[in-house]
Every structure is written in C-alpha cells, then in structure tokens.
C-alpha cells in the first residue's frame, strides 16, 4: 500500500518539475536526436543499430501510454533517438562510394573540383574526379608541389597527372584521428601525392574563376609569412600560408579558433554590414520615417553572412555559423531576444538534420558547446545582474567589461577542455587570459583594418592599412607565442575512455540546460567522468598499424621511440596518445635501460610488480633465425613490421605484420594487461567499403 501511494506522489513530483522546466524542454530536442546519432557511432553493427531504434520506439510507446507531460516527453525523446540513429545510418549509406583497394601509382586524366593552397608547406591540395577511369575512386585528393602546379589551375579545369595514391588511412593507434571516417562522408576514395608536374589540358571556364583563391593570393602578396596566412584565414578561411610553428603556438595558447572561420568571424561580418547599412540609411530623414531601417539592416546582414559563407568555401562549420547568424537576424526582425538557448538548439538541430555525421567531429562539439556555454551564462539571473548596463564611470564600465570577458573566457575554457582533451589529447590552460586580448584585437582591430585595406586596394591606396594590419598581426602572434611558451601552458592527457567523455558531456548539459535545483545533479556524472579520465593510466606501449614505429614508456615516465626516422606526424600521434609532448620523445637506442643494434631493440620495463621484456625489429633486414627465435622466447612482447616465423613465440603478445593487419595500431598496458586495438567489433561502412583498383600494369603508371 505504501509503495502504491508513493508512486503517484513520485509521478506528481516529476510533473511539477517538468512544469517548472517547461521552457527548457525544447533545448533537449537536438540532444535526444544527437543521442541516436552517437549511439550509431558507438554500437558495432547493423543488428545493434536496429536494436537501438526498436528500443527507442519502445520508449515512444511507453510514453504514449503514460499520462501527463512526462509521457509526452518520453514519447518525443524516443522518436528523436530513433530518428537520429536512422538519419546517420541512411546518411552513411547514401554517401557510399568506392575506395581504392591498395596503394597504386597511376597516371590519369581528372577534372579539378577544388584547389586549396598550402603555401607554408609548399603544396597545393587538389580534389579531383578521375575521367574515364572506373578502376579509380570517383573522387580523390592529391597534394602537389607548388612548383609543379601550372598557372591558371582552378576548379573546372581538366588535367593529367601521375600520382601515388593510397586508401584513406585509419587511426595510427587507438584514440588517434580517424581520417578514414571523415573521408567516407566527404566521398574521398583515395589520397596521395603527385610524382610529376601537372599537365593542364583545359583551363577552367572564366565563370568558374576561383574568387576565394584569388583573394587569398592577393592578401598574401600584401602581407608575407604567417601574418598574411592569418589575414587569409580571416577573410577566406584559407589557413595554408600559416607556418606550422605559428599554428602550434596559436593552438597551445587557446587561440586556434581565430584561424578557422566560425561564429566569431561570421558575427563580425554580419554586425559590420548591419551597422554600416543602418548608419548610412539613417542619414536620410525620409527613409528613417518611412522604412523600418533595422529590418533592412538585418537583410543586409543576412546577405553579408551568406556571401561570406560562400566566399570562404561553404564548409560545414561556416555554414553552421551562418545558420546561427540568420536565426538571430530572424529573431531581431520579429522583435524577439537576439540570442537564446532556443536559437542555439534550433541551429544545432538544423545542422544535425543536414549533416548528422558532424556530431562526431570536434568542430561541431567545440563551436556549439562554446556558444551554449556563453548564452547559458548570460541567461542566468545572477549573471544578468552583473552584466546589465548601469550608470557608472568609465573605469567601472571597463572593469565590469573586463571581468565579464574573463568570466566568460574561463567558463568557455572549462566547457571546452574535455572536448579538446578527448579529440586532441591536449588543451591550452591560459586560453581564457589570452582571449581577453586576442578576441577584441581580432574583432575590432584586425578585421576592420583588413577590410579597409581590401577596399582601399580598389583605388591603389591600401598600403597604409596593410602596414597597420601587419603590426596588429605581429601583436597577435606575439601573444600566441608568449602564452604558448609559459610554463604549464598545455595540459596533456593520453587517450580518454569514451565513457568518461560521455559522463562529462552529459553532466555539463544537465548542469547548463536546466534551471531548477535538480540541475546540480549534473555535477555527479561530470565529476565521475573527470576522475575517470584523470585516473586512466597512459599506455605503456604504442605500436602503429604498419609495425614500423613504436613508443615505449620508460621507468621515469617518458616515452622512447623505436626509430629515429619517424616523421613529425608520427611523433605527434605517438606523443599525444601517450600523454607527453612530441618534443619530449627520446630514442630508445639512447636509453641506458635498452639494448639496441641497427636491426633489433630489447628493453625491460617494470609494470604490475614484474619486469616486461619488449623486443622490436628496427629495420627491413632479417635477423638470424636462431637469434630471433631465442629473443622471442625470452620476451613478453615482440613487435615487427615483418611477418615473424612461426617459431617466434613470445610469452604474451606477438605484433607482427600479419597480426597488425587484423588489429591495426595497438596500445598495451602492462600493469593492467590490457590490449586496445584500432580494429574492433565494428562494421561501419568505411571499415569494409566497396573497393576499386587498377590492374597491376596501370598501377605502374602505364596509360591505357
């Protein structure tokens, strides 16, 4: 009887809580839809995806049976989860395209779809559609040396080139960036590098002239080096002229968001267009009395946002920011509050409907988390009282503005920290402080000066403005390098468990979107996820999927590389996933606790109250059979890029070419005895795609 009386009371409490939070319920629509998308990525195979949809529909039926607001909430949540899973499943199948089956060298004709300049690296990146080659993917990407690019090359051109092509690579080690998944949704079936100069068969039509590339080239001609690269990034989204050293400094200082066209840039362009049109039209009393000038200004801002999005290449992050700006303009036109969490939720839902795969990318997560955190902070009644305008002196206004900016920056850094650590294994610690200066400098100094310089160039008078822009860029880069070089400027974390990341995200959403006291319950999953991530030990051994490169954690906590000839990308991947900076990686052969020859290394590592012996081959030259077998028998783990003989039987783990072909990259924990692999029990489309490949004669570059 007591339990029977308690159930209605509990239901009534839920109903009262949902009634109190009714204004916040629409904010969970994109989250429920996104949960279905996330479930599809996390689950392994079609029967699991179908099971998730059936389970969600079961929740929908239960919601239809239950009375009240709780029943309606369950009904809608179930429908949204099922729809999200179905949407990403359909999208993954809809973009299906053949992938190159194996590395080849091929000579082929192609139509140029896209041209991106990477001038800081001396490269031009081409997205191509091969012509008359059913044995090649319908869309691929090739890097070409700048000197090998013919003049006049642009979208719409026809070319002939010889290139080495490879299938899109998967993660090198567990937790690393998965380009294979990104390439699948971009319909890229291969990537590679041109081996000879490109031959231009037909120039692009004049109507297809690449305004974006021409504008970037003009800016970089007026501002050399990374200053011109940053100016190009602000105007066109082209980051190719920024040196790697300056890019890394911007990332370490928490200023990398300034380099990618996002909400900050779209907002600045939209606001400038609105303000300029409004002030110009207000000069006419006749127009001011007869026309709703704010509505006209909003229309001009919308056109500016759309034009800027088109100019910068129409990438998903820019389109996302443009959609958000248009929603804000619509709200202003209707006399509603300009920026609310409902508008943020509407923008997120629209993006997920069009590009459901974007949920898994860092760009979507970072941008919407940042905007949601800022809006939630400013919607808080406590913060409203702090931020609202009041009668006070100039010093008070400046102090309040600086304090508001600092508080906002700290909140955004805290909100973005889990995402940065999960995707990039590092995060800037002093980003909030750096952004206090960098954001106003970029928004109110750099971008207006650059716009004035471009306009003045139309009459040949842009030199003074470019000089001022260059000085402002120098200051911005100085801030980035000063913050990046400060002690403890970067927090580094090895691979974070997905469960820990999910706990922090769920806790943050619960804490930020509700308004009643129950929101404090979000602190529990947030704290559990953070502690879980912090307590997760770094791997003791990382091995890339080809077996050529390995990193071993030494007794002092540092990582040592097996081979000296590891490229910057490989060093960065091994360092980030090991929880150390790439420049802190030493060479195993220089360690006193390792014994290395040109062809083989052996090291004894303490872990789990015992010593683990790891042996790894270092060259393509074979080791004497008897010696190799003896080393295997005395070792716990043996790593090799070659296929080891059957007689090689280590005590625990053999990672040779045959094994790594099945598992991909491997991360090993000695104390826990865990082995994580890139390849798991997953059957997503990009893991087993349809393939094409030229016959071996064509693979050598022969023309058919």
In this prediction, residues 74-95 reach a mean pLDDT of 95
In this prediction, residues 141-160 reach a mean pLDDT of 91
Higher-pLDDT residue of 244, 171: 171
Whole-angstrom Cα distance, residue 245 to residue 16?
56
Q: Which helix (DSSP H) or strand (DSSP E) does residue 402 occupy?
A: helix 394-424
pLDDT of residue 197: 94
pLDDT of residue 616: 92
Q: Residue 71 has which token pair?
A: 């029943």
pLDDT at 137 exceeding the cut of 70: yes
pLDDT of residue 11: 76
Where along the chain do its domains lie?
2-94, 99-209, 211-254+387-489, 258-367, 498-535, 541-677
Lowest mean pLDDT: which of 37-41, 333-337, 566-570?
333-337
Name the band, by pLDDT with cuts 50, 70 and 90, for residue 442. Answer: confident
pLDDT of residue 1: 45
Name the band, by pLDDT with cuts 50, 70 and 90, for residue 5. Answer: low
Whole-angstrom Cα distance, residue 134 to residue 127?
17
DSSP H helices in 199-312: 211-222, 225-236, 244-252, 263-281, 285-290, 293-311
Say what percent of the chain tops pLDDT 70. 91
pTM: 0.85
pLDDT of residue 576: 81
pLDDT of residue 468: 93
pLDDT at 172 exceeding the cut of 60: yes
pLDDT at 260 exceeding the cut of 70: no
Ranked by mean pLDDT, the top range of 51-55, 121-125, 291-295 is 51-55
Q: Which of 438, 325, 419, 411 is nearest to 364 (CA)?
A: 419
Specify which residues 159 forms β-bridges with. Answer: 110, 200
Q: Residue 40 has which token pair?
A: 């599809």
Q: What is the 3-state secondary structure (H, E, C) of 133-165?
A: CCCCCCCEEEEEEHHHCCCCCCCCCEEEEEEEE
| CATH code reported for the domain at 99-209 | 2.40.50.140
Higher-pLDDT residue of 305, 596: 596
Residue-wise pLDDT tens digits, 612-632: 999 999 887 878 888 889 999
> Could you give phi then psi for residue 557, rounded to 5 degrees?
95, -10
Specify which residues 200 forms β-bridges with. Answer: 159
Lowest mean pLDDT: which of 86-90, 319-323, 511-515, 583-587?
319-323
Is residue 281 within 8 A of residue 288, CB to CB? The reply is: yes
pLDDT at 13 exceeding the cut of 80: yes
> Could you give phi then psi for residue 340, rounded to 5 degrees?
-130, 170
Q: How many residues make up the chain in this entry?
A: 704
Higher-pLDDT residue of 614, 683: 614
Q: Residue 591 has which token pair?
A: 């360690």
pLDDT of residue 208: 44
- List, as one string, the DSSP characters of 69-110: HHHHHHHHHHHHHHHHHHHHHHHHHHT---EE-S-EEEEEEE
Residue-wise pLDDT tens digits, 454-500: 889 888 888 899 999 999 999 999 998 998 888 777 777 887 889 99
Residue-wise pLDDT tens digits, 537-558: 889 999 998 888 998 888 877 8
CA angle (98 as vertex; 693, 41 as ends), nearest 5: 135
Q: Which of 193, 224, 208 is nearest to 152 (CA)?
A: 208
**Residue 654: HSE in the Cβ half-sphere, 13 Å Cα cutoff:** 20
pLDDT at 703 exceeding the cut of 50: no
> Could you give phi then psi for residue 182, rounded to 5 degrees?
-65, -40
Residue-wise pLDDT tens digits, 177-225: 899 999 999 999 999 999 999 999 988 876 445 666 778 888 888 888 8
Q: Residue 703 has which token pair?
A: 């023309």
**Residue 320: HSE in the Cβ half-sphere, 13 Å Cα cutoff:** 27
Whole-angstrom Cα distance, residue 373 to residue 162?
49
Residue tagged 């003049």 (tokens): 151
Is residue 538 within 8 A of residue 668, CB to CB? The reply is: no
Lowest mean pLDDT: which of 120-134, 150-164, 372-386, 503-517?
372-386
Whole-angstrom Cα distance, residue 481 to residue 500?
32
Whole-angstrom Cα distance, residue 453 to residue 433?
29
pLDDT of residue 199: 94
pLDDT of residue 207: 46
């Amino acid at each position: 009887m007591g339990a029977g009386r308690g159930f209605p009371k509990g239901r009534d409490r839920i109903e009262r809580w949902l009634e109190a939070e009714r204004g916040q319920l629409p904010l969970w629509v994109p989250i429920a839809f996104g949960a279905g998308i996330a479930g599809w990525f996390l689950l392994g195979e079609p029967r699991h995806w179908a099971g998730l949809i059936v389970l969600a529909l079961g929740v929908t039926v239960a919601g239809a049976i239950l009375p009240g607001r709780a029943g309606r909430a369950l009904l809608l949540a179930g429908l949204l989860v099922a729809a999200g899973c179905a949407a990403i499943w359909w999208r993954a199948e809809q973009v299906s395209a053949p992938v190159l089956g194996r590395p080849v060298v091929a000579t082929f004709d192609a139509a140029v779809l896209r041209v991106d300049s990477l001038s800081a690296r001396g490269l031009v990146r081409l997205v191509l559609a091969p012509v008359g080659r059913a044995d090649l993917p319908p869309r691929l990407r090739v890097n070409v040396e700048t000197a090998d690019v013919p003049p006049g090359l642009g979208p719409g051109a026809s070319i002939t080139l010889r290139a080495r092509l490879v299938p899109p690579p998967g993660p090198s080690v567990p937790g690393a960036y998965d380009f294979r998944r990104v390439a699948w949704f971009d319909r890229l079936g291969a990537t590679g590098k041109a081996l000879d100069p490109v031959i231009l068969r037909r120039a692009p039509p004049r109507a297809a002239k690449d305004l974006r590339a021409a504008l970037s080239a003009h800016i970089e001609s007026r501002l050399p080096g990374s200053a011109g690269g940053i100016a190009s990034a602000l105007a066109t989204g082209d980051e190719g002229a920024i040196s790697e050293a300056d890019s890394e400094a911007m990332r370490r200082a928490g200023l990398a968001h300034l380099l990618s066209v996002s909400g900050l840039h779209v907002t600045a362009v939209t606001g400038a267009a609105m303000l300029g049109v409004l002030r110009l039209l207000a000069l006419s009393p006749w127009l001011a009395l007869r026309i709703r000038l704010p509505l006209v200004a909003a229309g001009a801002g919308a056109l500016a946002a759309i034009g800027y999005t088109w100019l910068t290449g129409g990438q998903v992050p820019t389109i996302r920011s443009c959609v958000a700006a248009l929603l804000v303009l619509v709200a202003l036109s209707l006399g509603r509050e300009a920026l609310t969490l409902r508008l943020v939720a509407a923008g997120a839902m629209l993006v997920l409907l069009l590009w459901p795969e974007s949920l898994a990318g860092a760009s979507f997560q970072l941008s919407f988390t940042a905007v949601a955190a800022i809006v939630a902070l400013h919607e808080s009644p406590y913060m409203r009282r702090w931020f609202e305008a009041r009668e006070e002196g100039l010093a008070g206004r400046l102090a309040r503005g600086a304090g508001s900016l600092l508080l906002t920056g700290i909140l955004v850094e805290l909100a973005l920290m889990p995402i940065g650590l999960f995707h990039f294994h590092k995060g800037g610690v002093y980003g909030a402080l750096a952004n206090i200066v960098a954001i106003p400098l970029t928004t109110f100094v750099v971008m207006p000066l650059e716009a004035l310089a471009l306009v003045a160039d139309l009459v040949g008078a842009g030199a003074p403005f470019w000089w001022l822009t260059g000085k402002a860029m120098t200051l911005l880069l100085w801030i980035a390098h000063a913050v990046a070089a400060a002690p403890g400027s970067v927090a580094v974390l090895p691979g974070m468990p997905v469960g820990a990341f999910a706990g922090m995200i769920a806790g943050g959403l619960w804490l930020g979107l509700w308004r009643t006291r129950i929101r404090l319950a979000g602190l529990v999953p947030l704290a559990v996820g953070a502690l879980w991530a912090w307590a997760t030990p770094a791997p003791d051994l990382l091995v890339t999927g080809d077996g050529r490169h390995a990193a071993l954690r030494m007794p002092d906590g540092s990582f040592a590389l097996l081979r000296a000839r590891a490229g910057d990308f490989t060093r960065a991947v091994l360092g980030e996933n090991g929880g150390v900076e790439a420049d802190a990686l030493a060479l195993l052969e220089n360690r006193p606790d390792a014994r290395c020859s040109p062809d083989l290394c052996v090291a004894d590592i303490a872990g789990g109250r015992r010593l683990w012996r790891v042996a790894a081959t270092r060259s393509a030259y074979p080791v004497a059979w008897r010696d190799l077998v003896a080393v295997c028998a005395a070792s716990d783990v043996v790593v090799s890029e070659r296929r080891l003989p059957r007689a090689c039987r280590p005590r625990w783990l053999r990672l040779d070419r045959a094994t790594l072909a099945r598992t991909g990259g491997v991360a090993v924990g000695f104390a826990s005895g865990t082995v994580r692999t890139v390849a798991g029990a997953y059957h997503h489309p990009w893991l087993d795609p349809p393939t094409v490949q030229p016959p071996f004669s064509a693979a050598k570059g022969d023309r058919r």
